[in-house]
Structure 1
């Protein structure tokens, strides 16, 4: 089955001009040209366009998307990864909405708020199993104890820094810089400083964490389209520790 450029742009909620631009960049290529020069697209182009739309919704720039699409990953496997990541986000969003609604109801009802309930949407225990399997129960217990010792303000600051670091990684990856570049290594250093609060960062720990960012879509969701860049940058940094 195939679609004309107008049909595909309408179905995808984009424009013919955007599809032509994607073609110029080698992202979404027409399967054939009609006698009048009309562009037609097949299912392969449809799948690629879907991947682009998903990554764009994650805030990934075109340069980073080009890098993602250059990888030797078939479209079906890639879409399965995206689906797994989106299911994780859906579960997280549902949990956060429920937590916020409980807080709102208590505030409207004049009930006393408990800090643990208010910050339940930021569940630091959600990756307990992975941490214990990779680094042992003591490692999780130590980090859990550290987290519970923080004030509400410190917890918010810690979470804000994590998001800022993820954004910084994305910006460096989109710039085309190498994982070993000064810019990338500066972000890793910031990441290591952030990690040093709850744990002791060793070369093995850093490399293992980087691999987890790529292998587990729940972690990779924090670095959409550039988790491999983050892993490689962390590996370079670990080799220099």
Structure 2
């Protein structure tokens, strides 16, 4: 390596900066960290200027700024101080949300220690659906997530609480039926599945592939399975029967 004009391959720069080659390629695509040159085989090579740009991006990322915001700052389209002040406001909002989540979790603990199994919408106060944004977009596309968020944001607090409470009630009814030995294709179980699909319809127009895929995810993903009191497979089976019988493909 020439000490007067240092240069690193993409793998070397990834190693010394503690990031990955994939990240560096992504930063290149966004125009944030540009290689000094491309080798004959397309290999990216980076110099001191690229290293400085990378360190700047990583520093701003550590403060919680998005890549899109960093891009506007580096392009001179946004002021760094204003961006950081905006980030402070966001962190304040996040702190308030975390406090609400803590109260909700403590409420649930208090209920469980007192032998109360029923939950209500207050147990979910402060929880944010946006944490699933990347997964929803990966499975069903950005339009699906954006549309569902618009519909959710259009609801009043009372409507949101009612919607969350409906899901709590649906999950408890699935549990009751499963523990009673009612088959998933029984009329009573299918009535609950119909309620479940109607609950989903607040955000999307459920079709058979969507509902079946979601039902499988309830079992495969423990974060979703936890909502169904150990009966995620029963929920999946009931929803699958309903979707196959009642929904368009």
User: TM-score when scaled to structure 2?
Assistant: 0.50
Please point out which of 156, 169, 173 is paired with 1:151: 156
Q: Is the 8 A contact 1:95 1:121 kept in 2?
A: yes
Q: Secondary structure at the residue paired with 1:214?
A: helix
Q: How many residues align?
A: 133
Residues 1:162 and 1:216: Cα distance change in structure 2 (over 3 Å): same
Q: CA deviation at 1:128?
A: 1.7
Please point out which of 222, 225, 228 is paired with 2:230: 225
Q: Map 1:3-14; keep pairs closer than 5 Å.
A: none
Please point out which of 179, 182, 204 is paired with 1:177: 182
Q: CA deviation at 1:131?
A: 1.3
1:214-236 C-alpha deviation (Å, 9 max, x unpaired): 00011001012110010011110
| Aligned equivalent of 2:198 | 193
Q: Is the 8 A contact 1:100 1:121 kept in 2?
A: no
The 1-side partners of 2:209 and 2:104 are apart by 36
Compare relative contact order (CA 8 Å, sep 6+) and give the higher one, 1 or 2.
1
Q: Is the 8 A contact 2:171 2:229 kept in 1?
A: no
Q: CA-atom RMSD, angstroms?
A: 2.4
| Aligned equivalent of 1:237 | 242
Q: Is the 8 A contact 1:213 1:231 kept in 2?
A: yes
Please point out which of 142, 145, 156 is paired with 1:140: 145
The 1-side partners of 2:188 and 2:209 are apart by 22
Q: CA deviation at 1:94?
A: 7.7
The 2-side partners of 1:233 and 1:93 are apart by 35
User: TM-score when scaled to structure 1?
Assistant: 0.51
Unaligned runs of 5+ in 1: 1-91, 102-118
Q: CA deviation at 1:120?
A: 6.5
Q: Secondary structure at the residue paired with 2:203?
A: coil
- Rg (Cα) greater in structure: 2
